[in-house]
Amino acid sequence: MRELTREFIKFFVSLKLTVALLALSALLVFFATIDQVHLGIWAVQEKWFRSFIVLQDIQGYPLPIFPGGYFIGGLLLINLVATHLKRFALTWKKAGIQLVHGGLILLLLGELFTGLFQEEYQVSLKEGETSNHAVSWRFNELAVADTTAPDRDIVTVIPESLLAHDEAVQVPALPFRIVPRAYYPNAALAQKEQLPAGQLTVPNLANAGLGPRFAVTPMRVTYDPQKKNWPAAFVDVVSAEGLIGTYLVSTMLIESETFTYAGRQWRIGLRPERSYQPYSLTLLKVTHDVYPGSDIPKNFSSRLRINRPDGSEDREVLIYMNNPLRHEGLTYYQYQMDAANANTVLQVVRNPSWLIPYISCLLMTVGLLLQFGQHLVGFIRKRAARPVATTAAAPAA
């Protein structure tokens, strides 16, 4: 048994494993890059990097074709940590290497945390518009709002992922259940009378609101980072007394469906996931500069006003290329601009681990400088001590 344990440890601390894992990583990154031509960047990340096994659809069957990023990265991490634990010694000579690898461990962990915790949203504003929330580009939610009170809505949101299951959603905030009947991750909606001839549709289950007027055609899910998926679903709203109605919800529908139950007004609709902030942003001005005598863009910038309803904050900020606004854990970047229509799109990112790469960069740089600096000094000393023809002592590891 002890023999086995020793073999086990030997395997995990071996440089052979390191080299093999480095080779696998290089291949993984290469294949994933090539795959970006067919899949969008998001799909590639899910398929190759944020997975343990890379599955490839071959004639309809998902077959494992390569170890995934979590697998290789995880082994690398174990290999790194194990090696350092086994050989750890606090000496100047080893300090460089240890710093480099410590930084690397931090970097790998940081990337893992980013993958797990990073949230991305967008804010699209026209000049003069104000918004207190950002919307997701990729994720959607089913919003059920109680609009009875004239001055406020009480909104309950259900993530899109729950619509994909057949199970009823019951939450204390709602006096009824939501039962998904059919869900399409990407679907085109058309008025029934305007449906192009020959276009196939799925059975329309809706029996209330505007839903019955539409024809729903499921579409292939797009991975193109420039394009959006437009999910649609049919949901039953079921109360203790029975079915209130079956509604069609889709991000393509701008207006939500409305109904009345138990004397209260309700609204139901699918919309991009929102992230509300305790402050609002007003777009004051967009600027798109080009170099004189050319159409090469020189700069894009958006001037905004941050305002808090309680009056504790009211100031102007300027966001432009390479100069984001960091505000309360969120970072706003200039993303797209349509200067002709005075419209700007800001990318909003919440990444709690954003500082980690900076720290690991510092550690690794210091480590590498220390390590190779020692080599260089040793090398120069040796050279100085010996005649020219036979010198050139290589820096030993």
Partner 1 sequence: MKKILPLLVLALGLLYLGSTLVPPRVPTGTPDYVAFGRLPVLVGGRIKPLDTVARTTLLQLQGRQTVRLADGTPLTPSQWIADLLLSDKKSNDYQVFEILHPDVLALLKLSEESGAGKKRFSYNQLVPGLTELERQSQLAQPIEAQRRTRFQSEIIRLRDNIGLYVRLQASLVPPDLDDPLKALTDFQTTLPAGIDAVRLRQQKLPHDEATANRVMELAGRFDFMAQNAYLLPIPPADTEKDDTAWQRTGAVLLNTFQTGAIEAHALSYAGLAYAWRGQKAGEFNTITRLLRAELDKRYADRLDKVDAETRYKAAAPFYSGMVIFVATLLLAIFSWLKFPDVLARSAYYLLGLGFLLMTVGIATRMWLEGRPPVTNLYSSALFVAWGSVGLCLILEKIHPRGLASAVGGIIGFSGLIIAHHLSLSGDTLEMMRAVLDSNFWLATHVVIITIGYSATYLAGFLAALYILRGVFTSSLDRETGVALERMVYGITCFATLFSLVGTILGGIWADQSWGRFWGWDPKENGALIIVLWNALILHARWGKLTGPRGLMALAVFGNIVTSWSWFGTNLLGVGLHSYGFTDRGFWALIIFAAVQLILIALATLPGLRWRSAAAV
β-bridge partners, 238: 177, 243
- Subset of 88-117 contacting partner 1 (CB under 8 A): 107, 110-111, 114
CB contact set of 163 (below 8 Å; sequence gap of 6+) = 142, 180, 183, 231, 233, 235
Only one of the segments 189-197, 214-222, 241-249, 358-366 lies at the binding site for partner 1 (rule: CB under 8 A); that segment is: 358-366
In this chain, which of 6, 7, 11, 34 binds partner 1, going by CB under 8 A? 34
Please report whether residue 147 would count as binding partner 1 according to CB under 8 A. Answer: no
Q: Which is nearer to partner 1, 22 or 219 (CB)?
A: 22
When asked if residue 23 is in the footprint of partner 1 (CB under 8 A), the reply is: yes
Comparing CB distances to partner 1, the nearer of 30 and 154 is 30
The number of CA neighbours under 13 Å toward the Cβ of 328 is: 8
Rg from Cα positions in the chain: 28
Comparison of 172 and 292: residue with beta carbon closer to partner 1: 292
| Cβ atoms 290, 283 nearer than 8 A | no
Question: In whole angstroms, how close is the CB of 89 to partner 1 at the nearest point?
Answer: 16
CB nearer to partner 1: pick between 41 and 65:
41
The one among 1, 4, 37, 89 contacting partner 1 by CB under 8 A: 37
| Comparison of 112 and 169: residue with beta carbon closer to partner 1 | 112
Binding segment toward partner 1, per CB under 8 A, in 18-26, 85-93, 164-172, 192-200: 18-26
* Short-list 49, 215, 214, 168, CA closest to 116: 49
Site string for partner 1, 275-304 (x = CB under 8 A): ---------------xxxxx-xxxxx----
Binding mask of the shown chain, residues 302 to 341, with x at each position contacting partner 1 by CB under 8 A: -------------------xx-x------x-x--------
CA distance 17 to 21: 6
352 near partner 1, rule: CB under 8 A: no
Shortest Å distance, C-beta 47 to partner 1: 11
Q: 229-248 b/e with 16+ CB inside 10 Å = b? A: bbbbbbbbbbeeeeebbbbb
- The CA distance from 68 to 52, in Å, is 4
C-beta contacts of 83-92 below 8 A and 24+ residues apart: 83/12, 83/13, 83/18, 86/9, 86/13, 87/13
**Cα–Cα dist 244/268, whole Å:** 12
Exposed, middle or buried: residue 38 (CB in 10 Å: 0-12, 13-18, 19+)? exposed
- Site size toward partner 1 (CB under 8 A) is 64
Q: Which of 88, 84, 90, 87 is nearest to 106 (CA)?
A: 84
DSSP string, 202-248: B-----STTGGGEEEEE-PPP--TTS----EEEEEEEETTEEEEEEE
Name the residue nearer to partner 1 (CB basis): 198 or 387.
387
Of residues 79 and 246, the one with the C-beta less far from partner 1? 79
Q: Does 387 bind partner 1 (CB under 8 A)?
A: no
Neighbouring C-beta atoms of residue 326, cutoff 10 Å? 10
Q: What are the tokens at 155?
A: 């909104």
What is the smallest separation between the CB atom of 378 and partner 1, expressed in angstroms? 12
Q: From the list 65, 171, 262, 361, which residue makes contact with partner 1 (rule: CB under 8 A)?
A: 361
Q: Which is nearer to partner 1, 114 or 124 (CB)?
A: 114
18 binds partner 1 (CB under 8 A): yes
- To 10 degrees, what angle do helices 69-87 and 2-13 make? 110
Which residue ranges make up the site for partner 1 (CB under 8 A)?
Answer: 14-16, 18-19, 22-23, 25-26, 29-30, 32-34, 36-37, 41, 44-45, 49, 107, 110-111, 114, 118, 120, 290-294, 296-300, 321-322, 324, 331, 333, 347-349, 351, 354, 357-358, 360-361, 364-365, 368-369, 372, 375, 383, 388, 391-395, 397
